[in-house]
């Protein structure tokens, strides 16, 4: 009976240890990614008539470069601008490879 209790205690401690370990810190990563994207998309080189909110979908390749999957807009100027300024740019702290990220962005007039 003592061996069973000891085994159960070891299993319990091991399970809590797995849940307590933090493999990644997503809050810091998302903030850093957002800041880097905003830095790359500072001022558009086309006239913006009204504020637009888009949902940008992207991922990272094995070299740490961003790959834009869907700019989230039907306006050709916006799509071209996002792809030219973001696609295949090297990031200082890239996200997880092949994970699809979604980020809302507002383009102000």
Q: Report which of 108, 107, 104 is spatially closest to residue 30, judged by C-alpha positions.
A: 104
Under the banding of pLDDT at 50, 70 and 90, the label for residue 26 is low
Condensed to tens digits (0 to 9), the pLDDT of residues 38-91 reads: 888 887 777 778 888 889 999 999 888 999 998 888 888 888 888 898 999 998
Sequence-distant contacts of 41-44: CB under 8 A, at least 24 apart: 41/81, 41/82, 41/85, 41/86, 41/105, 44/77, 44/78, 44/81, 44/107
pLDDT at 46: 75
Is the predicted pLDDT of residue 29 greater than 90, yes or no? no
For residues 95 and 66, give the distance between their C-alpha atoms in angstroms, rounded to a whole number.
Answer: 9
Q: Where are the domains of the chain?
A: 25-107
Range from 6-10, 87-91, 93-97 that averages highest in pLDDT: 87-91
């Amino acid at each position: 009976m003592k061996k069973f209790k000891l085994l159960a205690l070891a299993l319990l401690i091991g399970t809590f240890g797995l849940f307590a370990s933090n493999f990644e810190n997503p809050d810091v990563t998302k903030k850093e990614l957002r800041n880097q994207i905003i830095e790359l998309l500072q001022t558009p080189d086309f006239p913006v008539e009204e504020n637009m909110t888009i949902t940008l979908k992207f991922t990272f390749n094995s070299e740490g470069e961003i790959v834009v999957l869907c700019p989230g807009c039907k306006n050709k100027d916006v799509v071209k601008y996002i792809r030219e300024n973001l696609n295949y740019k090297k990031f200082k702290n890239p996200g997880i490879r092949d994970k699809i990220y979604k980020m809302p962005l507002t383009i102000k007039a």
